[in-house]
Amino acid sequence: MQYNYRKIALFGCLLAAVVVTLGAYTRLSNSGLGCPDWPGCYGFMSVPTLAEDVLVAQSQFPESEIEHEKAWIEMIHRYFAAILGLLVLFLCVIAIKYKRESPLPTKLVCLLTLLILFQGALGMWTVTMNLQPFIVMGHLLGGFSILSLLSLLYFRVATSLSPLADKVSHRFKMVLFVLGILVIQIALGGWVAANYAAPHCTGLPACNNMELFSINSLFHLPIGQENYEYGVLPFETRLSIHFVHRFWALVTSIAIFVMAIKLYALATSTTFKYAILWVVALLIIQLSVGAAIVYLQFPLLLTLFHNFMAAMLLTSMVRLCFLIKYRCGEVV
């Protein structure tokens, strides 16, 4: 049971990474409203392509123009998300059913199930509230959270060790603190994307037109609009949002590098050393990709890769936390 459960959990991690990437592609290709309703598309469970179906869709949604490419991007994301939801539900049922026979992390997988349900609601509100930035950012963070918890579930079922006591708690707290800094950076990146603020801050390392940057403009919140597609905030607010994301990227990088240096000096396990170096390598790649995106004027595929690398960096930090907490094979 434990072995099969582990394989299913690993598949769930891979599927979650696909769903997160598809969500980013939906957002970056401006396909978030490719289907104006939820969970179907123009009243159908697939994108209407037949002439009679298109006529029905146009009569039911006269204010929306059917763009088949965007609609398919949105629906493919929904299909994969639905499969992921069913998979997590299956993992939850199995964990509860065999609770006495096998030491599966029941609480964790139940939390995952609740998060999946809330994520589905956020997906619905993303469409019904016409890409309200707070909802869009929450939906992005929900996807990253599901990937992180599924990764943690896999790490848990891949080892039979119990958490250590206070001996390494200070190191665990340090990594957890840096993980929190990284989560803030991911949230800021989501806020940039939700407000279509990426192209408003060109130039490296600071934005061009930095004289427009204003802390006060950050409190100009996107609320009270009927439709938020392509953004509703003024130029200076979007520039300020993007610059704060860049500034916090610097804070995040310094925090990760300092953490890595301290942990590597104390590490006695090759596994743990490689885990630290993996985090650092992913961070360097992510910084390079971020700079390249600005230099090349925000190409879609590179920006998509930037989102994917953020997910991988987050997962690697979760693994680092796990290794310290559970000390797999004397990692520190």
Active site residues: 74
Instruction: Name the DSSP class of 209.
Output: T
Within 129-234, where are the H helices? 133-157, 169-194
Contacts of 270 (CB under 8 A, 6+ apart): none
3-state secondary structure of 148: helix
245-282 burial, b at 16+ Cβ within 10 Å, e below that, comes to bbebbeebbebbeebbeebeeebeeeebeebbebbbeb
3-state secondary structure of 103: coil
Q: What is the rounded distance in angstroms from the CA atom of residue 168 to the CA atom of residue 176?
A: 12
Q: Which two tokens stand for residue 21?
A: 């990437």
Contacts of 113 (CB under 8 A, 6+ apart): 88, 89, 92
